[in-house]
A and B are shown apart, each in its own frame.
Chain A
Amino acid sequence: MNTFISTLITGTANGAIFALAALGLVIVWRGAGVVNFAQMGQAMFTTYIASNLIASGNSYWLAFIVALISGSLLGMIIDLLIMRPLAHKKSSSATKTLAGTIPVIASLGILAILQALAGIFWAGEERGFPTPVNSFYFKNGDGTLPFSAFNLFVIGVVLIVLLSLTYFFTQTGAGLGMRAAALNPEVARLSGIKVSRMRTLSWAISGAAGSLAGLLITPSTNLSPNTLDLILIIAFTAAVVGGLDSPLGAVIGGLILGIGIALVTTYGSPENVFLAILFVLLAVQLIRPNGILGGKQVRRG
């Protein structure tokens, strides 16, 4: 019974992280029409920055803040340097057929570059990453409770982030502007909203969300140029499960995947995790192509 509960709690904590990463994907997809396959590459990069700061004697919290800031800066740089020029490029007949995939290819190029740079700067070998609080199960007299302080920390942090993002998007002017720019760029521009600035802002927010996911997941996956690829795949699946257009769907999708993967790992075998992800991804696309929360509107891309 304890195993089952601890599996559920670990699954929820991991699911919260996946939800965060999935949310990052959804924000850029809605805000800029790009599925950003480089997102966890960016997170890997900023987690390395944090790791180096900690290694040179700085506090976890300083590294944490720096990683989040550099995550949003990196997102903005990618938009300003690559994605915005791509979007403004006139499409020739040869590229029109690729219109939806060109940003995907660009994001893969960015991923390759970030991973290579990480290899060059920080070598390829895996290293660990610390947690700010204890990650051992709580002691309760003689026995142990089926969760750790870090589990609680993760769930708490993600909850705070989700609530603040919800507040930002629904209650503030900038949030309204970002949603308007995503839903109808033309009306948004006529309303005086600077649509390309809103896009950059979505890259920044998504970059920070991805970075946070990186900081929270690397204590359990370790850090190397490639370790976060798996998280990208899970986040993508979670986002598709939720409908790719729906932030709430991404969160639910993330939790479903987190708990599902934890159950498969505990009661099945860890090797089947990928097959389970693939199965979920295909099943959703065949049965509910717009995701569990997606509307009837035609999908983009």
Chain B
Amino acid sequence: MKNLMVSDLVTDYGHVRALDGVSFIANSGEITTVIGANGAGKSTLLRTISGLEKAKSGTISWGDLLITNLAPEEIVRLGVAHVPEGHAVIPTFSVLENIEMGALFRKRKNSTDVKVAISEVLDLFPRLAERVKQSAGSLSGGERQMLAISRALVSRPELLLLDEPSLGLAPLVVEQIIQSINQLCRSTGLTVLLVEQNANTALAVADHGVLLALGKVVSDQPAAKMRADSALRTAYLGY
């Protein structure tokens, strides 16, 4: 049972404080969603967990490991994969190269498992399987997001950090992607930390909700409860 535990996390960009003492726990095998308005600090939270930003103070523990301020390339080796905001793929690479990239660090020791992992993600996203040779730049927005997630999944993560997978996608595609994640989480015990602006979609699949505003946690409760709390939503999300 590996939980992600974030305590009193503070992250600055120069003089701008983006995270101001964030604490919460993401339970093993569950989907925890982080919601909040634009600029609340959601992306910064994920970036600090995955090591892309340095924490000023506070701790991040993953199971019994303290991973605060490790390098991203070390954190991914500990089973934490991050899909950053905005369909992060390499457009000049082929679909297959983008996926292989995510498993490069395991290729030498686990080459057979890498092959299995790649075929698994291609099963999960059949639309990618049809386009393995195509360049990633020629994919649609939804396919690109699937590709970004696949790149993260082939590293065989135990914790998946997903930053706004729905950004700029049609509702149907969003539904499809969220359902794939949900299915994955339930069938393999993957722990998911899902950042969303679209609170309804996220809370519908999540077990737990964390609401961020101006770098602080303003609410932390089971997803179903948060979903029902219309006062909270009007106050912080505006609908």
Interface residues of chain A, those whose CB is within 8 Å of chain B, are 173, 176-177, 179-180, 183-184, 186-195
Q: A184-B88, A189-B73 are in contact. List 9 more A-B contacts (CB 8 A).
A: A180-B90, A183-B90, A187-B151, A189-B51, A190-B82, A190-B84, A191-B102, A192-B77, A193-B104
Q: Once the chains bind, are A191 and B52 in contact (CB under 8 Å)? A: no
Q: Once the chains bind, are A187 and B105 in contact (CB under 8 Å)? A: no
Name which of B50, B89, B93 has the most chain A CB atoms within 10 A of its CB: B93
Q: Assess A192 versus B104: contact at CB under 8 Å? Given A187-B84, A187-B89, A187-B90.
A: yes
Q: A188 to chain B: which residues have CB within 8 Å? A: 101
Q: Is B12 an interface residue (CB 8 A)?
A: no
Q: A195 to chain B: which residues have CB within 8 Å? A: 73
Type the 1/0 row for B126-159, where 1 means its CB is closer than 8 Å to any CB of A: 0000000000000000000000000110010000
Total inter-chain residue pairs, C-beta < 8 Å:
64
Q: Once the chains bind, are A191 and B107 in contact (CB under 8 Å)? A: no
Which of B71, B89, B152 contacts A189 (CB under 8 A)? B71
Interface of chain B residues 77 through 132 with chain A (CB within 8 A) = 77, 81-82, 84, 88-90, 92-93, 97, 100-102, 104-108
Q: Once the chains bind, are B84 and A176 in contact (CB under 8 Å)? A: no
Q: B72 to chain A: which residues have CB within 8 Å? A: 189-190
Q: Once the chains bind, are B100 and A183 in contact (CB under 8 Å)? A: no
Q: Which residue of B lies closest to A187 (CB)?
A: B88
17 A-B pairs within 8 Å (CB atoms) are namely: A176-B101, A179-B93, A183-B92, A184-B88, A186-B52, A186-B88, A187-B90, A187-B151, A189-B72, A190-B50, A190-B52, A190-B84, A191-B76, A191-B102, A191-B151, A192-B73, A193-B105
Q: Once the chains bind, are B73 and A193 in contact (CB under 8 Å)? A: yes
Q: B92 to chain A: which residues have CB within 8 Å? A: 183
Q: Which residue of A lies closest to B105 (CB)?
A: A192
**Min CB gap A167→B, angstroms:** 15
A190 to B155, CA, bound (A): 10
Q: A192 to chain B: which residues have CB within 8 Å? A: 73, 76-77, 102, 104-106, 155
Name which of A176, A180, A192, A194 has the most chain B CB atoms within 10 A of its CB: A192
Q: Once the chains bind, are B104 and A194 in contact (CB under 8 Å)? A: no
Q: Once the chains bind, are A177 and B104 in contact (CB under 8 Å)? A: yes
Q: A191 to chain B: which residues have CB within 8 Å? A: 76, 101-102, 104-105, 151, 155
Q: Once the chains bind, are B88 and A177 in contact (CB under 8 Å)? A: no
Q: A176 to chain B: which residues have CB within 8 Å? A: 97, 100-101, 104
Q: Which residue of B lies closest to A192 (CB)?
A: B105
Q: Which residue of B lies closest to A183 (CB)?
A: B90
**Min CB gap A183→B, angstroms:** 5
Interface of chain B residues 32 through 83 with chain A (CB within 8 A) = 50-52, 71-73, 76-77, 81-82
A190 to B72, CA, bound (A): 6
Q: A179 to chain B: which residues have CB within 8 Å? A: 93
A296 to B92, CA, bound (A): 13
Please name the 8 residue pairs, one residue from A and one from B, whose CB atoms are nearest each other, closest first. Answer: A192-B105, A189-B72, A192-B76, A191-B102, A191-B101, A187-B88, A192-B73, A190-B82
A99 to B185, CA, bound (A): 44
Q: Assess A180 versus B105: contact at CB under 8 Å? Given A190-B72, A192-B155.
A: no
Q: Once the chains bind, are A190 and B81 in contact (CB under 8 Å)? A: yes
A184 to B97, CA, bound (A): 14
Q: Assess A180 versus B93: contact at CB under 8 Å? Given A173-B107, A195-B73.
A: yes
Q: A173 to chain B: which residues have CB within 8 Å? A: 100, 104, 107-108
**Min CB gap A8→B, angstroms:** 34
Type the 1/0 row for B4-46, where 1 means its CB is closer than 8 Å to any CB of A: 0000000000000000000000000000000000000000000
**Min CB gap B38→A, angstroms:** 21
**Min CB gap B216→A, angstroms:** 26
Q: Which residue of A lies closest to B102 (CB)?
A: A191
Q: B81 to chain A: which residues have CB within 8 Å? A: 190
Q: B152 to chain A: which residues have CB within 8 Å? A: 190
Which of B77, B101, B108 contacts A180 (CB under 8 A)? B101
A193 to B104, CA, bound (A): 7
Q: B102 to chain A: which residues have CB within 8 Å? A: 191-192
A192 to B174, CA, bound (A): 27
A189 to B71, CA, bound (A): 8
